Copies of this chain bind each other. A is one copy, B any other.
């Protein structure tokens, strides 16, 4: 076995920064069969993003949401407003944080730092479950 690829849908979440490490890992029992490799997480959307951040204090997630809202303001003079005031800021935040995340695999596990967790960053006020393509490759 060298390549494993699957498409999953995360459960719908409200706008904000959400730890999804456990929900992603539950879909990857094959991880333990790789001694070395890479996992790529690709989110098939342009108004939500995938990142890594602190996995401990829930206040960090509140501040990430607040901070990105301060930086990417809803009152910028957007032209594309037909999908609501949260839509264009969502596209800008997604461009900043990114759609594709590669994490090393070591001895059957993701080689994350102690304080790292995988985040779904949901930038829309209302959204349905977000689709991810998970691609593992290794030996």
Instruction: Name A residues whose Cβ lies closer than 8 Å to a Cβ of B.
Output: 2-3, 5, 7, 36-38, 40, 42-46, 51-54, 57, 59-60, 62-64, 66-68, 70-73, 76-80, 88-89, 91-92, 94-104, 106, 111-116, 119, 121, 131, 133, 135, 137-139
Contact = CB atoms under 8 A, between A and B. Distances in A.
Chain copies in complex: 3
B2 A116 contact: no
B78 A44 contact: no
Contacts of A62: 79-80
A81 to B, nearest CB: 9
Given A59-B80, A63-B78, A104 B88 contact: no
A133 B111 contact: yes
Per DSSP, chain A at the interface is mixed
B76 A42 contact: no
A72 B68 CA distance: 9
Contact of A104 (B5, B60, B68, B97): B5
A122 to B, nearest CB: 14
A51 B95 contact: yes
A40 B60 CA distance: 27
26 contacts: A5-B106, A36-B135, A37-B135, A40-B102, A44-B112, A44-B113, A45-B115, A46-B53, A46-B113, A51-B95, A51-B99, A53-B91, A53-B94, A59-B79, A62-B79, A63-B88, A64-B91, A64-B95, A66-B76, A66-B77, A66-B79, A67-B88, A67-B92, A95-B97, A95-B121, A113-B131
